[in-house]
């Protein structure tokens, strides 16, 4: 199961993480976001212990979304050492995210 990131815990959970982090910027009303949700949860299980994977609701945590210029959702951003290193926009096949995550391990 994916973690839940917020404006309040983003620095601690993502920016200060010892492992790479995939953040799924989403909203509850977004159709493509709903399509990606089970994929994000699957990846959280498959990469447990190697990559931290979680979701950030842009309606509830708009400051963080704004800080990373998230203009469309879903947007998935990979962070390494507190820095964004890769991103994907829109609903994408699971394999594309697997390749991006394997690329930072």
Pairing of strands 21-26, 83-89: unpaired
Under DSSP, is residue 48 helix (H, G, I), strand (E, B) or coil? coil
- Candidate list 21, 33, 36, 101, residue with the active-site label: 33
Is residue 55 within 8 A of residue 23, CB to CB? The reply is yes
- Candidate list 2, 14, 21, 30, residue with the active-site label: 30
30 is catalytic: yes
Sequence-separated (6 or more) residues with CB below 8 Å from residue 63: 7
53 is catalytic: no
Residues annotated catalytic, as ranges: 30, 33
């Amino acid at each position: 199961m994916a973690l839940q990131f917020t404006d309040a815990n983003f620095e601690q959970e993502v920016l200060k993480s010892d492992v790479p982090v995939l953040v799924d910027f989403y909203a509850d009303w977004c159709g493509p976001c709903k399509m990606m949700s089970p994929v994000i949860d699957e990846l959280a299980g498959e990469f447990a212990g190697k990559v931290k994977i979680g979701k950030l609701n842009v309606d509830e945590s708009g400051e963080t979304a704004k800080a990373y210029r998230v203009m469309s959702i879903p947007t998935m951003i990979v962070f390494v050492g507190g820095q964004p290193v890769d991103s994907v926009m829109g609903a994408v096949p699971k394999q594309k995210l697997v390749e991006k995550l394997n690329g930072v391990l």
